[in-house]
Structure 1
């Protein structure tokens, strides 16, 4: 089995076991909340941890972006990272380690963040590299996943499935070619790694957003479901309004995947008051970030997430998992 632990198991076995209480914790573990917030004398320290456990070709690039994105999606400026690198025992000649650390270093420079420590080891149980990253940053205003309120609008930046498109174009390029996808499309899709960060759009939205979330595994659908669940609201989404790049359509068609249900890093989902929508879209456009108003927030009903007439009542499984099984 591949995938996240269910909300039920998290509630039963994880969320109640957090050690000693600490009044400085503003946001602790909760379903849909990807980062913690801690009150410190200088403001609010935001901390998150993320793994990269499936993709192979650009694990360092993915790791820095995915970890930084959860901090940025909480209204903070990503600043510091620690990285744990686990390598297969067969990769002990230094080449894989050099490749991974070069990706980490170059992406950290691009994101203007500093790697301050970590750990590395070889493990005979692994078949591919595995990373675990912790990112930290300071926020003037912490924005949770669980802050959406009825009447808000849902803003999405860039588009659905950006991360999954990049992974398909690198780790599964041969499968795409065998399915008839042209090399030019695969090449364009592979450049989507350059679009995985969301710090720029966070800066444009965070002062007015009631909630922000970075969709990852399970894609946009699961990200929106988590936002609705954390906020105890229902989201009404117009799927025709969701930006989807043509390269994403091409590669997902080739592997029979839903663009809305593949790894979604690179997009930022934010809820904002209705009277702030126009200003937010203008700010994003000024930052050269594509964005769309894709839906609204309603009082919580029986269905947390409605995609037109499709009701989503539980977390969904990422369509790309099948490629690793």
Structure 2
């Protein structure tokens, strides 16, 4: 078994999160990107941890951006990181690659790595990273804020992260499937767009909810947003932007672009009147975006909110479709 826990198993863990504190505004909950802690004087600290265990070629780069993206999706700029690295052995080249990637990605975002932990764990077959990011904001935006009547917006497109992973970790599989080198090179370049910090800055002013679609991609991200807000998200698959390189590499691997790692895109819900101004701000930042659906009140007989994708009611985003390729 690999990947996220199912919602029921996760809830068992969330129910045992320890002592509570009145300063905790948003705690551990299904779909929430980050915890939010009231610092007083209108300031909120947002905190999030994320691991990287499989993507080998760009693990350090992905680790920094995935952790910081969760802070951006909560309406804050990431400021600090702690970094835990578990190494299978003392391969100097691997250590140099990981640390160089971590340093470069953090510098690109203006984020300071303030500490962490590193050790050897021989039972591992590849490095395992876990990063915790911290940031402050005066306008925290939760995953759970979507309201009936809002529009659902997606920046950039589906499977940005997965496209880069496939083009690096599985380049030989793509070549065997007949994908040309220029497409593989362009797809590998998608890692350059994995940050959603600029996306978040353009949307914070008007978004009711933001969410970073990571493991499981856009499909799982939408399921999590719907569950967190207890609403239905009605989405048309044809409205979800999928870039040509993504279409090509996903087709070569036989996977759905909506069901694989989606970091680099940002999901948002906004009141209808705010959509055009939000898209204008994104365009000024050079970021493409599309309205892919709308928010409706939960179906009367339903136990929880859900994604309605082309009419199909989905309450479980399922396992990321890239995972079997690492087994």
TM-score (normalizing by structure 1): 0.97
Q: Deviations over 1:121-176 (max 9, x none)?
A: 11111000110000000011000001100000001000000000000000000011
Shift of residue 286, structure 1, vs aligned partner = 1.0
Name segments (4+ residues, structure 1) moved above 3 Å.
none
**Residue number in structure 2 paired with 1:36:** 35
| SS of residue in 2 equivalent to 1:288 | coil
**Residue number in structure 1 paired with 2:236:** 238
Shift of residue 240, structure 1, vs aligned partner = 1.4
> Is residue 55 of structure 2 the alignment partner of residue 55 of structure 1?
yes
Shift of residue 306, structure 1, vs aligned partner = 1.1
RMSD, aligned CA:
1.0
| SS of residue in 2 equivalent to 1:133 | strand
Distance across 2 between alignment mates of 1:314 and 1:265 = 19
| SS of residue in 1 equivalent to 2:74 | coil
**Residue number in structure 2 paired with 1:194:** 192
Distance across 2 between alignment mates of 1:306 and 1:19 = 35
Query: Following superposition of structure 1 onto structure 2, how do residues 60-209 of structure 1 map, counting pairs within 5 Å?
Result: 60-89=60-89, 92-209=90-207
**Residue number in structure 2 paired with 1:311:** 313
Unaligned runs of 5+ in 2: none
Q: Would you say how many aligned residue pairs link Structure 1 and Structure 2?
A: 322
| SS of residue in 1 equivalent to 2:207 | coil
Distance across 1 between alignment mates of 2:249 and 2:313 = 26
Distance across 2 between alignment mates of 1:118 and 1:18 = 22
Greater shift in the superposed pair: 235-244 or 169-178: 235-244
Shift of residue 309, structure 1, vs aligned partner = 2.6
TM-score (normalizing by structure 2): 0.97
Distance across 2 between alignment mates of 1:201 and 1:208 = 12
**Residue number in structure 1 paired with 2:251:** 253
Distance across 1 between alignment mates of 2:150 and 2:290 = 14
Shift of residue 88, structure 1, vs aligned partner = 0.6
Unaligned runs of 5+ in 1: none
Shift of residue 209, structure 1, vs aligned partner = 0.7
